[in-house]
């Protein structure tokens, strides 16, 4: 039996034990994890310094994700404690009915089982993912980017030790203890033991994982997010929503990538939006209509409408109305997050009903599409899949359910 | 573009139109389908007679499934009308909250999109599947066993014509119009257009489909169902529940396959259970303990504990208590349906909490695990998957959801 298979087998055994432990044990474990991490703070920071030293030649953005400084460390501790305090999703009665026969039927939330997370060299995901998975009663197998291995080993050991002290099986949290890439291939073969894989990272990586395994994969693909500015959009809100959606953090999946502006929007509002974007150093790539109305605007190519820039670029297209806007979103969107800015309830309702995206927003920044602002607490990511979980993936989304039927000798006639 | 790709593309276009049609239109379409089928009754029965004639050499069980007689025809009509009358799942607000920020956040049920059903030569599944899929606002592509093609073509044409009259896109219901096996391979490649495949039939067929496509597959595997008879089980109920679970219909996925009897159950009750089974011509394959207590009992082999007989055979094992029963189920069960017969709330609760199956029953026949007896109305099958839908798959399970967030200029800070 390979080391990875043995690890997956132990995770399954841990998941079976976790199922019957009460919520209080899991919350206790999460709080103890926070406490234990504080105890080993120096070891975490020192392991991270070694990881950082080895990554000296990598990009600034990469190193920023890898770094655990005081701020990141406090964030990790806080997220564990927040997860502990969240309402427990396990055992939640999703529906319950007494059938005319007298049979009592319930649909009850239960853990999925064993979840494998494959992610970037970002140590805070190690604690976040463990927190969300454990909150939902799942055993978790963590495989972070190899460059973060030293940091992750210290984090995982502390979390395992805290789990043990709380009476949980320590194998509720396991880390792939090697930077060897073959370990991931081996992990993908463990379908008898692993119930779900959640990969994060580049699209090609996620695709390769999904196609290389029989285990269900919850995919986190592109966010080609749109805002449609209707003709009646109020000036100040329109400018603020566009600027916030695009500029608050350009590098994330719910950042705005394409702005759709109604041709009937007053030119003064259009110019203020452009000015707001340029103040934030955003490069604008416009359709020919926009280019004829705005000086210094770069002409968008066909490719632009299908691009997730994750940077200081925004494509802008003028549209003849809500139908053209919705058609554009249907053709070019990625089903992640799309919004409308309007004062009209009728337009808002039409947009909500017809735009088939995981998150549909009205008069709100695309950056609000996510776990925290939706009240889910901790999340492991934002799913672009349609099945099981769509949009933010928090503790409730890492549960499945079972049917419980209680009779008194009920037979099928 | 291949014929199948064109068909899938049309289904996706139909799904987009279906999304914005009200529930009343879909219910109207289902009622009109029932009406239209009554109009073409003779054509259905006559096409089925031709299919039956061609299947003259096949097994009685196969021909029974293929046959549309008066009783089956009435059942098909009734199911369409029942589906029309069910509560509409689309637009159901699964949860809703006003965040402290004032942002209104809702999770709303929406159709999955395009669903492909691949199933046996069983014409009633054609109407059942169309009813459930359409009830949930999905477009459906139907591929029944080739032997039923003539019958299915008549059924599908009638349903398409009724859809058209109700103002729905007729491509909401499409049938693969060929018996050519290559059509299924082609169907599996249509991941840009199809959101979910639901195969029914043998395990090897389902497995081959799941491994041959990138489209999500909702799997319906074995039902190796167990009943555990606790030591305190009341005699009459124990006998009735065992006999009903096993004998009411031996050929279905929720029929009992392995009986676990507590060693402390009084011998008189044990003997009555055996007698009840033998009156119904059930062959008993027992563990050595049972064989020593019951005359004429065949010794079970290791293989028996992992077998879904779907026939007149039952394996029986004596166990030392609930823990041994639950261990047996964890090791040999298929996670479909497992039950306990007991008077003890404590034992029942322990069983519910620890048995990780789609349906866990207390003092009820395993045959009650399903859509009708759980109050779901029409279902397309019973999923043994853990994700998205577990157990009976009805209209609500053929929905996904989207998040709708309504603000008033809400920004991310």
pLDDT at A20: 86
pLDDT at A204: 87
Interface with chain B: mutation pick from A386, A389, A413, highest number of B CBs within 10 Å: A386
Contact list, A386 vs chain B (CB under 8 Å): 112-113, 195-196, 216, 400
**In B, residues 82-121, which contact A (CB 8 Å cutoff)?**
97, 99, 101, 103, 105, 110, 112-113
Contact criterion met (CB < 8 Å) for B105 and A411: no
CATH number at residue B70: 3.40.605.10
A401 in reach of chain B (CB within 8 A): yes
Whether A130 and A172 share a structural domain = yes
- How far is residue A312's CA from residue A247's CA, in Å, rounded to a whole number? 8
Whether A176 and A274 share a structural domain = no
pLDDT at A130: 97
Whether B155 and B53 share a structural domain = yes
Q: Of B124, B144, B142, B135, give the one whose Cα is nearest residue B75.
A: B124
Per residue in B217-252, pLDDT (tens digit) is 999 888 999 999 999 999 999 999 999 999 999 999
Contact list, B97 vs chain A (CB under 8 Å): 375
CATH number at residue B333: 3.40.309.10
Cα of A192 vs its chain's centroid, Å: 26
Contact list, B373 vs chain A (CB under 8 Å): 99, 101, 103, 105, 405, 412
Mean pLDDT of chain B: 96
pLDDT at A1: 64
Q: Are B111 and B136 in contact (CB under 8 A)?
A: yes
Whether B320 and B343 share a structural domain = yes
Mean pLDDT, residues B129-139 taken together: 97
pLDDT at A203: 86
Is A310's pLDDT higher than 90? yes
B380 in any annotated domain = no
- Number of domains within chain A: 2
Whether A185 and A282 share a structural domain = no
Mean pLDDT of chain A: 96
B388 in any annotated domain = no
Mean pLDDT, residues A264-290 taken together: 98
Whether A260 and A191 share a structural domain = no
Per-residue DSSP letters for A178-223?
Answer: ---THHHHHHHT-TTT--EEEE-S-HHHHHHHHHT-SS-B------
B210 in reach of chain A (CB within 8 A): yes
* Domain encompassing residue B86: 3-218+393-406
B412 in any annotated domain = no
User: How far off is chain A from B359, nearest CA to CA, in Å?
Assistant: 5
B62 in any annotated domain = yes
Is A221's pLDDT higher than 80? yes
Whole-model pTM: value is 0.93
Whether B195 and B53 share a structural domain = yes
Whether A194 and A45 share a structural domain = yes
Is A272's pLDDT higher than 80? yes
Per residue in A173-212, pLDDT (tens digit) is 999 999 888 999 999 999 999 999 999 988 888 999 998 8
In angstroms, the first-to-last Cα distance of chain A is: 49
Q: C-alpha distances in angstroms, B79 versus A322, B139, B379? A: 39, 18, 10
pLDDT at B179: 87
How many residues are given for chain A?
Answer: 413
Strand-pairing partners, residue B362, are A406, B340
SS3 content of chain B, % helix, strand, coil (to 5): 45, 20, 35
Q: Of B136, B184, B150, B142, give the one whose Cα is nearest residue B21.
A: B136
Per residue in A130-180, pLDDT (tens digit) is 999 999 999 999 999 999 999 999 999 999 999 999 999 999 999 999 988
Contact list, B406 vs chain A (CB under 8 Å): 348, 361-364
Number of Cβ atoms within 10 Å of the Cβ of A238? 25
Contact criterion met (CB < 8 Å) for B103 and A373: yes
B402 in reach of chain A (CB within 8 A): yes
Mean pLDDT, residues B31-45 taken together: 98
pLDDT at A338: 98
Is B91's pLDDT higher than 90? yes
Contact criterion met (CB < 8 Å) for A369 and B16: no
Bridge-based pairing of strands B93-98 and B104-111 is antiparallel
A379 in any annotated domain = no
Contact list, A101 vs chain B (CB under 8 Å): 373
B333 in any annotated domain = yes
Is B1's pLDDT higher than 70? no
B316 in any annotated domain = yes
Interface with chain A: mutation pick from B229, B331, B347, B410, highest number of A CBs within 10 Å: B410
Place of tokens 């991490």: A37
Per residue in A317-351, pLDDT (tens digit) is 999 999 999 999 999 999 999 999 999 999 999 99
Whether A292 and A323 share a structural domain = yes
Whether A293 and A204 share a structural domain = no
Is B329's pLDDT higher than 70? yes
Whether A175 and A205 share a structural domain = yes
Contact criterion met (CB < 8 Å) for B19 and A354: yes
Contact criterion met (CB < 8 Å) for A211 and B216: no
Mean pLDDT, residues B364-384 taken together: 92
Whether B67 and B161 share a structural domain = yes
Is B269's pLDDT higher than 80? yes
Per residue in B97-118, pLDDT (tens digit) is 999 999 999 999 999 999 999 9
Is B83's pLDDT higher than 70? yes
Q: C-alpha distances in angstroms, A27 versus A110, A162, B22, B70? A: 16, 11, 44, 59
Structure tokens at B79: 């199911």
A339: nearest CA partner in chain B: B405
Q: Residue A392, SS3?
A: strand
Contact criterion met (CB < 8 Å) for B374 and A99: yes
A260 in any annotated domain = yes
């Amino acid at each position: 039996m390979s080391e990875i298979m043995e690890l997956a087998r132990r995770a399954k055994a841990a998941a079976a034990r976790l199922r019957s432990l009460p919520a209080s044990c899991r919350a206790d474990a999460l709080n103890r994890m926070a406490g234990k991490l504080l105890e080993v703070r120096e070891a975490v920071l020192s392991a991270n310094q070694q990881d950082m030293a080895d990554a000296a030649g990598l990009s600034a953005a990469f190193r920023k994700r890898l770094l655990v400084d005081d701020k990141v460390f406090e964030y990790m501790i806080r997220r564990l404690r927040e997860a502990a305090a969240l309402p427990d999703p396990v055992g939640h009665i999703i529906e319950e009915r007494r059938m005319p026969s007298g049979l009592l039927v319930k649909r009850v939330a239960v853990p999925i089982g064993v979840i494998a997370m494959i992610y970037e060299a970002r140590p805070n995901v190690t604690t976040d993912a463990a927190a969300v998975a454990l909150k939902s009663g799942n055993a978790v197998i963590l495989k972070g980017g190899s460059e973060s291995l030293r940091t992750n080993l210290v984090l995982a050991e502390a979390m395992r030790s805290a789990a043990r002290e709380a009476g949980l099986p320590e194998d509720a949290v396991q880390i792939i203890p090697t930077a060897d890439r073959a370990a991931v291939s081996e992990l993908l073969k463990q379908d008898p033991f692993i119930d779900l894989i959640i990969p994060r990272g580049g699209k090609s990586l996620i695709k390769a994982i999904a196609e290389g395994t029989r285990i269900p994969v919850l995919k986190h693909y592109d966010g080609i997010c749109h805002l449609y500015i209707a003709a009646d959009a109020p000036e100040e809100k329109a400018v603020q929503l566009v600027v916030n959606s695009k500029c608050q953090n350009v590098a994330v999946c719910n950042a705005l990538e394409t702005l759709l502006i109604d041709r009937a929007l007053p030119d003064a509002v259009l110019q203020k939006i452009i000015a707001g974007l340029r103040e934030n150093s955003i490069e604008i790539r416009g359709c020919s209509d926009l280019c004829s109305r705005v000086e210094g605007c770069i002409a968008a190519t066909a490719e632009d409408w299908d691009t997730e820039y994750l940077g200081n670029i925004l494509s802008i297209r003028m549209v003849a109305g809500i139908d053209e806007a919705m058609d554009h979103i249907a053709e070019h969107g990625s089903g992640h997050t799309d919004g409308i800015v309007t004062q009209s309830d009728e337009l808002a309702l039409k947009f909500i009903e017809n735009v088939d995206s995981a998150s549909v927003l009205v008069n709100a920044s695309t950056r609000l599409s996510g776990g925290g602002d939706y009240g889910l607490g901790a999340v492991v990511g934002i799913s672009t899949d349609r099945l099981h979980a769509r949009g933010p993936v928090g503790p409730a989304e890492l549960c499945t359910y079972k049917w419980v039927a209680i009779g008194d000798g009920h037979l099928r006639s």
